[in-house]
Chains A and B, each alone.
Chain A
Amino acid sequence: MNEQSNWLAACRVEDAIENGGVCVKHGEDQIALFYFTRRNEWYATQNECPHKKQMALSRGMIGSTTDEPKVACPFHKKTFSLSTGECLSGDECAIKTYPVKIENGTVYIGTTPKS
């Protein structure tokens, strides 16, 4: 884990969508926040799908392949690993991922990307 000095208070746990994503506004940036309730895991990635530069990943379906958690862009179903950001559809492009922590029912996103 890298050092995080900037934690953004994104939303309350109950505002997040179970087994789905929401979009968090961070200044000019947009971050997709996923509450993978089935695995009891939280993930955050850039909201923009690098394929056609659409602000859409938070509206994508999440799931897993073997054990890798992933999100599928609603536009053309490119899939990305939620843990590493790697594109799982065989393309070069990867997405940024961010650390997430929960404190007192609030969801915080570390705004320095993990990778």
Chain B
Amino acid sequence: MKEPQIIVIGNGMVGYKFCEKLRSKTSSFNLIVFGEEPRRAYDRVHLSEYFNGKTADDLSLSTENWYQEQNITLFLNNPIVKIDRELQKVYTANGLDYHYDILVFATGSGAFVPNIPGIEKEGVFVYRTIEDLDLISGYAQKAKTASVIGGGLLGLEAAKALIDLGIEKTSIIEFAPRLMPRQIDAAGSDMLKSKLADLGLQIHLNKNTISIEGDGRITALKFSDDTALDVDMLVISAGIKPRDELAKACGIEVGPRGGIVVDQKMQTSDPAVFAIGECALYDGMIYGLIAPGYEMAEVLAANLCEGDKTFTGFDMSTKLKLIGIDVASFGDNFITEPDCRTIIFENKHKGVYKRINVSNDGQYLLGGILIGDATAYNLLLQTSNNRIVLPENPEELILGARGGSEPAGGAGITGLPDSALICSCEGVSKGDICSAVADGSCENIDDLKKCTKAGTGCGGCLPMVKDLMTYTLKSQGKYIKNVICEHFNYSRQELFDLIHIHELKSYDEVLDALGKNDGCEVCKPLVSSLLASLWNEMILKKGNDVAQDSNDRFLANIQKGGSYSVVPRVPGGEITPDKLIVIGEVAKKYNLYTKITGGQRIDMFGAHLNDLPIIWEELIAAGFESGHAYGKGLRTVKSCVGSTWCRFGLHDSVSFAIQIEERYRGIRAPHKFKSAVSGCIRECAEAQSKDFGIIATEKGWNLYVCGNGGSKPQHALLLATDLDSETCIKYIDRFLMFYIRTADPLTRTATWLNKMEGGIDYLRNVIINDSLGMAAQWENEIENLIAAYKCEWKEAVENPAIRKRFSHFVNAPEDKDPTIEFVEMRGQKRTAEWKTV
């Protein structure tokens, strides 16, 4: 018998979720999907991240092969234009027709565009699809001012996008007297408005736009109060409009203000036709959030597989981060006295507004609003949804307990019933999560996401999912230990101490004494790093070379194509003309590409493995030494020119930078670390983005620690002020040894501090007040490391056994790797692209 055929119109998030849910339940049904957009379903909730570097591919919900693997026929760029319900056929724009047994509308919604004169002008956009975003970002290049009509959730997102695109003046026009009128009250709106104003957004409330001015292209907006605003572009985000036009045209019942009318089973007025997501109107309401859309998809998929599920409305609580500002509402957010009692906390200084609505008998939480700080959201939502009896002082739920005690009553995750819905996107309850952990199938968050799907939608519940996981593991008596790999049943810190106590000096000794089997690419570099941090011996001796990561093994950074780069140390970024000439000559002689690095030195790329020793021999002869650009250790100490030349400089930052770089050069650590010294508060050396940074003051030096650039920038925190040079170095000694001894593998100082209980206050206590009593030992240890320093490239070129290993072919030591290819670019060479497709 032929399988019944389901046709889904619309390939948005809900349409995709329906396919996924249906296929997870059954492989029967021929499933055909028609999408009008040119790409596979993507994550519209995080659409604005498209402007922060996410690509269309990153946002895609499925892989390219997914539909094929699931035996689903997908037509993109192919809208349905007509439906014949008698023949049970749909007709595509290119004239083909397909029969259906079951038809599913997942057409979603379009932007609601108010009928303002001039709306058709060039420079007016909506904010809905990736194509819209491309159009906006193209036009934004030549725009200096922009407005968004609509101060709701999407409007604010759109405004943020415009700021990200570099528009100098962005404003929001809202018809209502407050922002986000569906979610927050007037006081919350005031708080949000002042925070947004701080970010440079102009907010105009109570504004009714009556016309869009301009000759073909928008130049200004006119309002009903006779005011006007000059703008170069406009984004309309005044709400959504269900895409019900096809349904309406074929006679299916739609609501008076739009939306395909459905019952609890998502069935429309035609029993063979269903509607889910933002195009569906249930009980007079359009559900414009992702979680209820997914729930509708689940209900329909289950019922098609002989299930018996119903949709009976959905909790519209939301939590989001708008332009870095937490905004949340839950439960009955607008209920007021005398139907409830409200508790309000407002801190204008920090921009925090919290309101909770409590039942008149003080027993239950009915709803609330959070602006500026929504950390309590998950717990409040659960307390409200599960009708958990409130503690005696419910204000502690939003203020935190004072006097050091935890809030009383059943407010924590332990007090939640198993039925509490934790992930509303995927419908995962506390019981689902805890039992997945308890039965042993998941012991980390990735497993848990795979197995329960919790936290894979908007991700807002992840902190609570993690807490539940840790709580369940702990309650089973499981000690969550950070072991290195299958060969060593220790954490890095434990292994550090054990190697120290047993005075082990090579990887093989460590493996024999403390590990098992043969080791691997995880424990080998880790142990090698510990050995180097402890003893600071030449890292390629004692057979340790094969236990080093590739870069350490060849004392150079392997680059695309298999060539290496060479970076001599240039302490503090100070270099003589003669040494510059040497670098130029060496680079020319060995045909190397040269580039100035971010750390004030010069990188030479494209060296063959065979040439490394001879290149270094020449550099060493000219007075250079290894720059350890390849190692997990000190990279550079950047400096500004300081008081020797600069008219603002307070101290000689270059001399201090050189002193520090030469002090810590070659010391291996859990990860690389960087430093900088600035000669005054203008901070030209960017010391506050470094693992430790020093800034001159009138009285001495300020020491900052645990900053980071890179993908997650973090400002360094002030550890101590107005230090003399000697004390500054003493504190850095202690800081570095504490880090080297206790950080997890491949953890930068910023992450190390973030995980540290007590944070910077605790660190300050350890470093300055010596609260652990370790300072003297650490200072002693680092002195030993400093005394043991030798340039490892000098040792390598002078040791024939080590030098021999710098050849590509064991049976043709003179031959270089013939597969390395370079091409020309701007008068230098560059490496050829990866050879894969």
Contacts and interface: CB of A to CB of B under 8 A. Distances in A.
B273 to A, nearest CB: 42
Contacts of B836: 51-53
Given A25-B815, A53-B835, A65 B486 contact: yes
A113 interface: no
B819 interface: yes
Contact of B549 (A10, A36, A74): A74
A72 B521 contact: yes
A72 B834 CA distance: 19
A67 B520 CA distance: 11
B486 A66 contact: yes
B709 interface: no
Contacts of A69: 518
Contacts of B835: 52-53
Interface stretch (B4-12, B791-799, B805-813): B805-813
A23 interface: yes
A63 B809 contact: no
B518 A38 contact: yes
| A28, A62, A77 — most chain B CB neighbours (10 Å) | A62
A61 B520 contact: yes
Given A16-B810, A54-B561, A61 B547 contact: yes
Contacts of A4: none
Nearest to A11: B810
A114 to B, nearest CB: 21
B834 to A, nearest CB: 5
A33 B810 contact: yes
Interface string A37-50: 01100000000000
B546 A64 contact: no
Contacts of A100: none
B817 to A, nearest CB: 6
Nearest to B553: A59
Interface in B63-120: none
Nearest to A71: B521
A84 interface: no
B543 A19 contact: yes
Given A24-B810, A61-B546, A17 B562 contact: no
Contacts of A77: 521
For chain A, the bracket of interface size reads 35 or more
Contacts of A66: 486
Contacts, number: 97
B517 A67 contact: yes
> Chain B's interface: helix, strand, loop or mixed, by majority?
loop
Contacts of B834: 52-53
A17 B520 contact: no
B124 to A, nearest CB: 46
Contacts of B808: 23
Interface string B549-576: 1100110001001100000000000000
Interface string A12-34: 00011111101111001010010
A17 B546 contact: yes
B519 interface: yes
Contacts of B519: 38, 63-64
Contact of A63 (B518, B553, B811, B812): B518
B524 interface: yes
B295 interface: no
Contact of A18 (B524, B546, B818): B546
Given A22-B810, A52-B835, A75 B558 contact: yes
Contacts of B561: 54
Given A11-B810, A15-B810, A53-B834, A20 B545 contact: yes
A20 B521 contact: no
A41 B331 CA distance: 67
14 contacts: A17-B546, A19-B508, A19-B546, A28-B818, A30-B819, A55-B817, A56-B550, A61-B521, A61-B525, A61-B550, A63-B518, A64-B520, A67-B517, A79-B521
Given A63-B521, A65-B486, 19 more contacts: A17-B546, A19-B547, A23-B809, A24-B811, A30-B809, A30-B817, A30-B819, A38-B519, A39-B518, A52-B834, A60-B521, A61-B521, A61-B524, A61-B549, A62-B518, A63-B518, A63-B523, A64-B518, A75-B550
9 nearest CB pairs, A to B = A74-B550, A20-B546, A63-B520, A72-B521, A22-B810, A53-B835, A64-B518, A25-B809, A61-B521
